[in-house]
């Protein structure tokens, strides 16, 4: 069964450093998403991406964040200058067309620890 994959599974970085989290969505999916889950809190939407551009973003997704689909398979989330409060589990998801009715398939997550 096709699945969303994410690398690395765990990333440790120093405050102020840049990190890139990588995702490979399911191959025939058209919509891509990033969510995050701070320990003990809700899963929160960050951004959605369709047709090589951001279609929606939350208040969390400020100028420190960016997303890119550098090739036909990868989808990345970049945090330019990490802060302590960016420590969280980051989930990538993808869905087929007609995204509203289609379920989103989630990857296993990348645990980001900012020291």
Partner 1 sequence: AQSVAQPEDQVKVAEGNPLTVKCTYSVSGNPYLFWYVQYPNRGLQFLLKYITGDNLVKGSYGFEAEFNKSQTSFHLKKPSALVSDSALYFCAVRGPRAGSYQLTFGKGTKLSVIP
Q: Is 25 in the site for partner 1 (CB under 8 A)?
A: no
**What is the Cβ-side half-sphere exposure of residue 18, based on CA atoms within 13 angstroms?**
9
Q: Is 4 in the site for partner 1 (CB under 8 A)?
A: yes
Q: Which residue lies nearer to partner 1 by CB, 14 or 100?
A: 100
Q: Is 39 in the site for partner 1 (CB under 8 A)?
A: no
Q: How far apart are CA 11 and CA 44, in angstroms?
A: 19
Residues 6 or more apart whose CB falls under 8 angstroms from that of 58 comprise 44, 45, 46, 47
Q: How far is the CB of 13 from partner 1 (least distance, A)?
A: 20
Phi, psi of 101 (to 5 degrees): -90, -20
Q: How far is the CB of 46 from partner 1 (least distance, A)?
A: 9
Q: Is 91 in the site for partner 1 (CB under 8 A)?
A: yes
Pick from 13, 58, 64, 76 the residue near partner 1 by CB under 8 A: 58
């Amino acid at each position: 069964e096709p699945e969303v994959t994410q690398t690395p599974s765990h990333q440790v970085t120093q405050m102020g450093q840049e990190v890139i989290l990588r995702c490979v969505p399911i191959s025939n999916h058209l919509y891509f998403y990033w969510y995050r889950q701070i320990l003990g809190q809700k899963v929160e939407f960050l951004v959605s991406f369709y047709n090589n551009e951001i279609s929606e973003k939350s208040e969390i997704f400020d100028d420190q964040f960016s997303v890119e689909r550098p090739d036909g398979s990868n989808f990345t989330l970049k945090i330019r200058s990490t802060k302590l409060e960016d420590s969280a589990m980051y989930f990538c998801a993808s869905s087929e067309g007609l995204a509203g009715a289609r379920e989103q398939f989630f990857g296993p997550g990348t645990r980001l620890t900012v020291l």
